[in-house]
Chains A and B, each alone.
Chain A
Amino acid sequence: MLYREAGQFKTSYAADQALLPILQDRIGLLVILVVAFVFIPLFGGEFFVGSVMIPFLVFALAAIGLNILTGYAGQLSLGTGAFMGVGAYSCYKLVTYFPDVNVIILILVSGVFSALIGVVFGLPSLRIKGLYLAITTLAAQFFLEWCFIRIEWLYNYNDSGAIEVPQRMLFNVAVTGASASHITRYLVVLAIVALLTLVAANVLRGRIGRSWMMIRDMDIAAELMGIRPLYAKLSAFAFSSYYCGVAGALLVFMWLGSAEVEVFDINHSFLILFMVIIGGMGSLTGCFFGAAFIWILPIIIRTVPAMMGLDIVAATVEHIVNIVIGVLIIFFLIVEPHGLARLWQIAKEKLRTWPFPYSS
């Protein structure tokens, strides 16, 4: 009754093809943005903003990156963690070489390096596909991980082998480093994620995005219709790696503060993949659902028994989380392969026809 497009008339093609054609959707997004930009920084505690919201947004961005490649272009990748690492390390080098440049620009630029590496490791996708390709992305994962350890230039030859984020100011406010407040870091991450999500939404519904989906659905048919697989696949790898790279840079610069190579290991690649599967392949909203689910579920499992007075060892919680996520992945693949995003869509559809479900 409330959520219905009846009476909203379009008078131009542009209005008809808007990103959010229904008024209620626009209001809903506006509410979400106001909550995210105003209410959470105002009323959120340090733990909630710093340890829940920032990682959630960063992982959502990485999930968007993987979703572009796997969900939209149909190329399964197990090397997300390494591509995030490329972003983080190149951002670190950029900050070292250009200490006076705005750090946010450097974070956005570092994704370009990740995109280049992504294209290189995307080249095999021109000859092979499916499971074989998934395994070649493992080559990217392990080779890059090795590079992060062995090429000492990447971490400025320091003894610990870790990259430490230096302090950088922007308009006299510390943005990175130890003295940057969680609110500032949250707002920077939120702004970048919101911007990149908007870009992704527009790229995906545009010519490039549709060519990815054509390649995913049936590559031969796509080729016959004039899509060049070379450009479509490599651009998907480039876009995907760009997003992953920016997410990796944000992960280190805005959340962790310092990082060693373990942060970008294969377990993180899987973590992002789980977010995409549970959230929904081929859906941007799903990336946020998936990231929220995978990131916040362990926190809930950790805190709820403690609140009820049960004493559970931290290691046990990790194991239970593993089991729960594993079961959920299988459950979603069986029952709803399109993930939480599809459930959300069904709910919206139900709401649209309520209270007359047969009248649509």
Chain B
Amino acid sequence: MEILTSIVITPFVEMFAYPDFLIQVVWEGFVAGVLYSLIALGFVLIYKASGVFNFAQGIMVVFAALVLVSLYSMGLPAWLAVLLSLGVMGILAIGIERFVLRKLVNQHEAILLMATIGLTLVLKGVGQLLFGGEPKPMITEELGLPTGSTDWIVFDGIVIFQHIDIAATVIALLMVCALAVFFSKTRIGRALRAVADDHQAALSVGISLHQIWAIVWFASGIVALVTGIMWGARSEVSFALEIIALKALAVLILGGFTSIPGAIVGGLIIGIGEKLFEVYWGALLGSGVEAWFAYVLALIFLLFRPQGLFGERIIERV
């Protein structure tokens, strides 16, 4: 009975007793969710266009951020470093398409997944070899991102908003809008959607699959760089991020593999959900529940709605 009270009643009593704290927790979760969404977005872009489940997205985030920080530390101005990192991600995209994907056309999707796991190892090794394994601070101020924080006095308490978190949210929003415009208005965007719909039909109207794949990997490379900057600014750039990035997989299950809105909503649900669960229910189980909450939520979700929140395709039931 006591346990039941502490599960069903006490957390909610606490939430209403200290609403300022609740807002703070939800906000923290929201920002974490935005970052999960960004990583998941990179997955969705690639999966839609090429059917490849890109396990390497997490390491691409780390890699892009490391390239940026290292270029800056070599003495280049920040804007040039950003441009050059974009160039590196572009070369990477072309290289991956040319040497990995092109050879694996028409393979089973599990094979493609494993190829991207191999890619993860290569990128990790190259990254550590070139840039060293120790964490590096992100060049937040040099990129013109705001630092500092604003206090919001509400319900007899203070809610603290870090400016970088607000900036991350705004930039994420802008990027999603830009992607939406890119997909719906431009020639390449239409070609991308055509490829996502049907490879063979797209080929028959003269769309080059190789080109589209390179473009889409480049696009997710850009998303990776932005994610890396934001995440690096909140903590620092390190390879530990790779494990956290795996949570984006749980986000994908919630949102569906092919849906951009799904990636965003799924990310927010996971981000807010795990923070709330950790703060209000975590103590019952011993802390650290953040490590598995996302996956278990996704697992339970799968049992009831296998195609995800916005998934367009019905997954084959077994």
Question: A and B from one assembly?
Answer: yes
The residue of chain A having its C-beta at the shortest distance from the C-beta of B304 within the complex is A127
Q: How far apart are the CA atoms of A149 and B317 in the complex, in Å?
A: 35
A319's partner among B120, B129, B250, B318 (CB-CB below 8 A) is B129
* CB of B249 within 8 Å of the partner chain: yes
Q: How far apart are the CA atoms of A149 and B298 in the complex, in Å?
A: 22
Q: How far is the CB of B98 from chain A (nearest CB, A)?
A: 12
Q: How far apart are the CA atoms of A124 and B306 in the complex, in Å?
A: 10
Report chain A residues within 8 Å CB of B104. 333-334
The residue of chain B having its C-beta at the shortest distance from the C-beta of A70 within the complex is B110
Q: How large is the interface on A (under 10, 10 to 19, 20 to 34, 35 or more residues)?
A: 35 or more
Total chain B interface residues with beta-carbon distance under 8 A:
48
B318's partner among A76, A127, A328, A337 (CB-CB below 8 A) is A127
Report chain A residues within 8 Å CB of B285. 150
Which secondary structure characterizes the binding site on chain A? helix
Assess the A132–B114 pair: CB atoms within 8 A. no
Interface residues of A in 123-159 (CB under 8 A from B): 124-132, 134-136, 138-139, 142-143, 145-146, 149-150
The residue of chain B having its C-beta at the shortest distance from the C-beta of A147 within the complex is B292
The residue of chain A having its C-beta at the shortest distance from the C-beta of B288 within the complex is A146
Report chain A residues within 8 Å CB of B14. none
A-contact 0/1 string along B301-318, CB 8 Å cutoff: 011001000000001111
The residue of chain B having its C-beta at the shortest distance from the C-beta of A121 within the complex is B299
Report chain B residues within 8 Å CB of A322. 121-122, 124-125, 128
* CB of A360 within 8 Å of the partner chain: no
Assess the A139–B295 pair: CB atoms within 8 A. yes
A-contact 0/1 string along B119-135, CB 8 Å cutoff: 11111111011000100
* CB of B113 within 8 Å of the partner chain: yes
Known: A143-B296, A323-B129, A334-B103. A127 touches B302 (CB 8 A): yes
Assess the A138–B288 pair: CB atoms within 8 A. no
Report chain B residues within 8 Å CB of A125. 318
* CB of A66 within 8 Å of the partner chain: no
* CB of B46 within 8 Å of the partner chain: no
Report chain A residues within 8 Å CB of B129. 316, 319-320, 323
Q: How far is the CB of A326 from chain B (nearest CB, A)?
A: 3
Q: How far is the CB of B218 from chain A (nearest CB, A)?
A: 20
Assess the B113–A142 pair: CB atoms within 8 A. no
Q: How far apart are the CA atoms of A360 and B124 in the complex, in Å?
A: 47
* CB of A321 within 8 Å of the partner chain: yes
Assess the B125–A138 pair: CB atoms within 8 A. no
Report chain B residues within 8 Å CB of A330. 100, 115, 118-119, 122
Report chain A residues within 8 Å CB of B315. 128, 132
Q: How far apart are the CA atoms of A233 and B286 in the complex, in Å?
A: 33
* CB of B253 within 8 Å of the partner chain: yes
Q: How far apart are the CA atoms of A124 and B113 in the complex, in Å?
A: 20
Q: How far is the CB of B23 from chain A (nearest CB, A)?
A: 28
Q: How far apart are the CA atoms of A334 and B119 in the complex, in Å?
A: 13
CB pairs A–B below 8 angstroms (13 shown): A124-B299, A125-B318, A128-B302, A129-B318, A131-B53, A132-B253, A134-B110, A134-B113, A219-B318, A274-B117, A330-B100, A333-B104, A334-B100
Knowing that A150-B286, A329-B114 touch, tell me 10 more A-B residue pairs with CB under 8 angstroms: A130-B109, A145-B291, A149-B288, A219-B318, A274-B117, A274-B121, A316-B129, A319-B126, A322-B128, A333-B107
Give me the interface of B with A, judged by CB distance under 8 Å.
53, 100, 103-104, 107, 109-111, 113-115, 117-126, 128-129, 133, 243, 246, 249-250, 252-253, 257, 285-286, 288-289, 291-292, 295-296, 298-299, 302-303, 306, 315-318
Pick the 3 closest A-B CB pairs, nearest first: A326-B121, A322-B125, A329-B118
